[in-house]
Amino acid sequence: MSVAWTLGLLFLGSVVHATESSLACPDWPTCFGTMVPEMSGGVFWEHLHRLVAGGLLLMWGLATWLLRREAGDRPWMFGTALAGVGLLLVQSVFGGLTVLFRLPDLVSTTHLSLALLFLGLATFLASAAAWAPRMGVLEPGSARGLLRWGLWAAALVFVQSVLGGLVRHTDSGLACPDVPLCMARIVPPLQSGLVLLHFLHRMLGYGVAVVVVGLAVWAFRRGAPAAVRSWTGWAGALVLLQVGLGFLSLYTRLEVVPVSLHTLVAAGLLSVMVHLATAGWANRSYAPRSTVSASTAVSASTGV
């Protein structure tokens, strides 16, 4: 459940920015000096975002405590979950700093980056404990290929999303106001830092699309198990949807819905890539006797 919760939190964060509600609560951790402000206007989105973040921290903390007792012969899972608690705490602090220092670009982008890292960690644990064993057994070459493709794709999606955060926080979203060209050119003048940032984000997006679609083609041509082909097919659909939402965001001049969905789909694509990479990494090393015990506590936070 924590994976879905984190995706929702990232979506809410994008809505907060798109509706210009980031400073609707001018203080932190309270909002106008209270934990129960009037939930109206921008305060509704900003404070809801904080409440959902607090719920995630409580949920993950409980799951980590349960995992300490249930991890069995895979104690590394507890260590990974504990690292997630630390990551959430640091990410919360950066959320506060974005408010206290009035939305500095690098701090705000770091806040997003930490959220994406946590999403990857939560997906890794959920996949290692429960999702990946259901993917079917891969022969060693296919497992290595899935790990390699998945890691490359996950890294590219992460970098692309961080660049997207910089585009958002530096107000570079309309630096290239037309699509698929930029300023009516294939390569626009790059003297402006805002145009360069936007153009890099766009070009890397095309690169992500090529890699993710390539992964899907590889899985089908390799004759991977049906579950792997299904996941890679969904990944291909998500990346094409992501490109389309990027175009739609420009056409609508950064309307709230397409911009926020653009962030959500990017995060979902990252989660899928981490899952596929985890399946490739651990595919041939599952022990049924340890899967049940280790997955019990993780299920409390993943909903599996």
72 and 287 in contact (C-beta within 8 Å)?
no
Domain ranges of the chain: 1-136+292-304, 138-283
Residues 6+ apart with CB under 8 A from 278: 123, 124, 127, 128, 131, 132, 150
Give pTM, 2 decimals.
Answer: 0.90
Q: What is the pLDDT of residue 293?
A: 42
> Tell me: the pLDDT tens digits for 109-159?
999 999 999 999 999 999 988 777 777 777 788 888 899 999 999 999 999
What residue ranges of the chain have pLDDT lower than 70?
A: 71-73, 284-304
Can you read off the two tokens belonging to residue 171?
């107000």
Q: Give the separation between CA 98 and CA 208, rounded to whole angstroms.
A: 29
CA distance 181 to 28: 42
Instruction: Give the per-residue pLDDT at 283.
Output: 74
Rg of the Cα atoms in the chain: 20
Q: pLDDT value at position 57? A: 95
